[in-house]
Structures are given as C-alpha cells and as structure tokens.
Chains A and B, each alone.
Chain A
C-alpha cells in the first residue's frame, strides 16, 4: 500500500497544475467533478491487489502502478504527424475526422468538413471546445454512466478530464458520415500518460456510426513506455441505432486501459466491434446496460497478441429490462508467450423475461506457450430466457491445413490463410468499407509469417 501511495504522488503535481490552469475557465461543476474524482482516485489507487478481485484476477497492473507517467509537455505540432497518422489509423476524407494528439485536440490534423457535420444540428466537437462554449447539456451527460467511485482508472481519467470528443446526434437525425475519433500518442522523452474521453449521445430514433481509434507511433524501438487511460460513455435514446467501432493499435511499449459504458433505451440497437493489436498490456472494460424493453446489442471483438503481450477483455451485459437481447462474439489469436483474458458477464435481472443472450469466445493458439483464460459467465434471475455461452481454445485445424497443402500451398502459407480466415469472420462484421480494409490489412500484417503451431484442436 505504501508503494501505491508513493506512486499516486506522481500524479498529484500534474493534477494540481492542471486544476489551477483550468480553474478560471472551467465551470464550477466540472472543477468539482474533477476534485471528487481525484479524491476517489487517491483512495482507490490502481487495482494491484488481485486476490478476491474478480475483475482483475488475471491481469497484473503493477507495471502501470509502478511507472512514473506524466502529462506530455510537448507542444502540439500536429502537421509533423500527418503521414504517420494516415498509416497508423483508419481514415477517409469523406468521414468526420477528429484527431487528438497526446490527449489534446489537433485542429491541423482533423477534418471536420464532411457533408453533415456543419449543418448546425448535429454536434461533433472536441470536449475542450464544448466546455469553453458552455454546452448546456454537458453537465447532465458527463460521468453519468461511468462510475468512477468504483474504479481507480475511471476516477483518474475523470480527474484529468480536459479534452476528448463530444458527439451528439439530435432526435430523428441520421448522421451519414462516420465520425472517426483518433487518439494518437506521439513519441516523447519520458513516460507519458493521456486521458482520452469520449462522450456520445444518440437521440431518439437517430442513427450514427462512431469509430474510436487509439494508435501509437510505432517508429523507433527506444521510445519510453506510455499509458492511455481512456473512458467512453455512450447513450442511445429510444429507437436509436449506433454502429460503434473500437480500434486499439497502440505501439509495443504502450499500456492501454479502456473503460466503456453504454446505456441503451427502449428499442435501441447498438452494434459494436472492438479490435486490439499491439500494446504490452491492454484492457478493454466494456459494459452495456440494456435499460429499455426491446433494446439489443451485438458485440464483436478480435484481438491478436504476440511476444509477452497481455490482453484483457472484460465484457459485461446487463439485461435490466424484459425483451432485450445480446450477442457477444469475441475471437483471439495468440502467439509467442502472450496471454489473453476474457471475462464475459451476462446478467439477466429478475423480471427481465423474454431475454435472449448468447456469448462466445474462441481462441486460436499459434504457439504452445500462449495462454488464454476465458471465463464466460451467466447470472440469470429471470426464468423465461434463452441464454448460451461457450469458449474454445485450439490450434489451426489439421484437416483444413491438409486440404490446403494438398493443393500445393506450403504449410506456412496455408496456416496463415487459415489464421487470416479466422480473423476475417469478425472483420467482415464491419459495415464501413474503408475501415474494413484497414483492419484486414492491419491484422494480415500482424499474422506471423512462419513457425505457426500446427496440429489438432484442443
């Protein structure tokens, strides 16, 4: 505990500095929110104690707690990173593109000129701007669904909350262009941290597509480690439809902790796909609250790990109302000595009848040293429900491999083709064509060329 306390002091100076800097311009409620969150963080610290803590049982965050991450002091140059950005993150000129460099909005790199961003009704903005202009509903929306009282990472993010994305789709509006939010971490001389914050509110009967990308500049092996502590809050009002994509393609030396909270109203439809690659340690804490009858969500995920990477997905779905449905389909590809943790928690509350919930986590092990802890779970307190779950871990199917080899493909090429095919099932769920292509190339490139472990399914 004393060690944790010392390390919290690393953040203290940054916090006090930023508080002072913003106190004059920030509304009182926001300063107060920051103070509450900071106090709570000092009480909670990081969840390094894992015994009896189901949410962190298989993931050790001591490397984050013990490092000395500070806010990036570099000035946002922006334009220097344009070519890097195009390579590292999904992009299309037709989209509404918001780029955040080391946690701060970069006007130079962004492109807000897409067709319906400027029609005055739909609001796509950076949070700092929304705060400055005194956006009236911000106070009602911020930190509503993320409970920082229970979570040190969310508390820390909320304490430092200063910039991020604010996407508001008014009732009945259909946002044609995808909103592309890119959180880019550049290189620095010392270990840095940034606190991306994303707030999405989709109004009654409104429709939108939002892409969140977390990317690091991959050049240079000697870069110090960095930490992305991201929080996303999404609300869907009655009948709203949101397609959501989360892309984590951080650099090798990155720690990434993402906390996403989604709240769905009556008959709303939330489709999401999460993709993760890179990063020393990545955590995707993703929670959907089905808070209105008829609400449904479809959550897909794909992760690929190598070397000593650690990938943790904790996906929770709360069926709080009857006639709600959820589909959860995650897939992992593990190489080297990497480790994946999958926790899927489906809760069906009492009186939430006529619920359907299905979850699956399938893992492909490319090495005998890779390891997966997959723990899908169902907590059902209603009696008229349709639920199912399953988890698998195995190697490349030997019969499929023989089929390909019998047509002249060498073992490595054939294995790669099968691994790619395994990934493709999730990539194919992406409805935005340029994003689908970007992801297909990203994952194909990451599949090892040789030495894949062959043989029977476990």
Chain B
C-alpha cells in the first residue's frame, strides 16, 4: 500500500470549521517517517483543532482539502479505524472515566489493534507482563492501572497515562496535543523521555505546543508556526528559539508586513 516515497501524512489545503466558525483556513503539512514536527502557535490559532481532526473528533466539519495517511484518505475513516492503523492522539485534557477500569480499557485497546492486524487476543498474563514494562517507561504508579481511567489522577498523572497508552499502542503517527501544559519540570522530563524512547525510524511525532520548553527535551526536525488557521512559517529548531525570544507578535507582524 505504501511505497517508500509516500509520506506518512500529507495534508493539503485543509479547511475545518466547528459551529460554523472557520478554524483552519488551508493547512498544508507533510510528515515523513522518522521525523519529529513541532507545531507552535498562540492560543486559538487552531493547533488542537488540527490534531483533533486528524484523530477523527466528530464535532468538526472539514469544508475543504485532503488528508492522506500512508496514501489513504484518512478523513473517510472512523476514529477507531485511524487508531488501529497507527494514529494516536495524546489528549490535551485526558478525560476521567469513572467506572471504566484502566486495565480493561487498555486490554480492549490492545485487543482491537491485534484483531485489526489479524492476530489473536493477548492472554491476560502476557498483557500484564507487557504492561509492567510500559509502566516503567513513564514512571507511573503500577496501581493506577487497577483504578478507573484517570479518575482522581493529578494533571501530571493524566499526561503520563496518555504516554503509557501511546507506549502500549505503538503508533506510527503520534499526535501530542500540548502534552507539556500543566507539567512541572520533573514530569515534563519523564514524559519527554518516554516519547523519545518510543521514537524510531518507522514512526513520526507531531507535537503541538504553546511554549518552546518541551523542545529542550524532544528535539524537533521541523518547526511550524500556526497562526489564525494557517501555517505561516516553517523552519528548523532555531525557529522555536526565535519565537521564544521574540514572541508570537513578532511573527504576526512579519506575516502582515509580507502579506
């Protein structure tokens, strides 16, 4: 299905609205395997919308443009199908699911992936063994998986739990939606190390952030600036440093001057 030259993700002219409000106004964006992309931008620029649409969040309407994932039309797929094909969204605000036991939820997720690949369900024992390994990666209290999903978790625990899910699902395309927000410096380091260890030449990471801080830990290959629903500038890691130093107003003025 995928030739060597096909990008992992190819977005062309993507326009998205929610409640009749246009949020994305023509986004072009390409991700190849082995790459780490950072999408930066001020609040309300459309960063979360972009990754949510890629994961299939229902309340958005795509009004124009295409999204191809491994050469396939991603937008025509149900969210669960996207997940099974390797698209993973780490939520900015992971939900609390009282009464849904984390262990059962994670097992169901793994079973869904394996069934999609035509593999048998994992035995409970094998799953436990795998879970123990993955739990170490994000330095999470192993007892958390016995509880309800995210219920009563601290902000940092919720974010770590997202990375735990990512570690278990081993996605090809990881979309991290402001995973750094609300984390103290230790949690940020742990979460970043987890993401880095999951990186390999066959997958890719897109991280959305407001601040440059997380990029000290997860080094991006490409940095993009999203402003008012458009990617207005792309560059290397130095762009993030420049943004941090000069602020988003600088880029807004630069765009307006050139436009």
Contact = CB atoms under 8 A, between A and B. Distances in A.
Contacts of B80: 405-406, 408-411, 414
5 contacts: A402-B57, A402-B79, A406-B88, A408-B84, A420-B99
Given A402-B57, A418-B100, A421-B98, A408 B112 contact: yes
B64 interface: no
Most chain A beta carbons < 10 A, residue from B56, B82, B97, B104: B97
Contacts of A404: 97, 100, 105
B78 A405 contact: yes
B74 to A, nearest CB: 13
A18 interface: no
A34 B58 CA distance: 63
B89 A421 contact: no
Contacts of A417: 100, 104-105, 108
Nearest to B166: A407
Contacts of B105: 404, 407, 417
Contacts, number: 76
B83 A408 contact: yes
A394 to B, nearest CB: 15
Nearest 8 A/B pairs, CB to CB: A421-B99, A408-B112, A408-B83, A407-B109, A424-B99, A405-B79, A421-B100, A405-B80
Nearest to A410: B80
A422 interface: yes
Nearest to B84: A408
Contacts of B113: 408
B29 to A, nearest CB: 20
Given A402-B79, A403-B91, A421-B148, A408 B109 contact: yes
A408 B116 contact: yes
Contacts of B83: 405-408
Contact of B97 (A405, A406, A413, A418): A418
Interface residues of A, number: 24
A409 B108 contact: yes
A405 B79 CA distance: 6
Interface in B39-85: 55-59, 78-80, 82-84
Nearest to B96: A400
B165 interface: yes
Contact of B95 (A403, A405, A409, A428): A403
Given A404-B105, A407-B105, 6 more contacts: A399-B95, A405-B56, A407-B112, A408-B83, A409-B108, A414-B80
Contact of A406 (B55, B108, B116): B55
B99 A407 contact: no
Interface string A163-190: 0000000000000000000000000000
Contacts of B97: 400, 403-404, 418, 421
Nearest to B80: A405
A50 interface: no
Contacts of A408: 80, 83-84, 109, 112-113, 116, 169
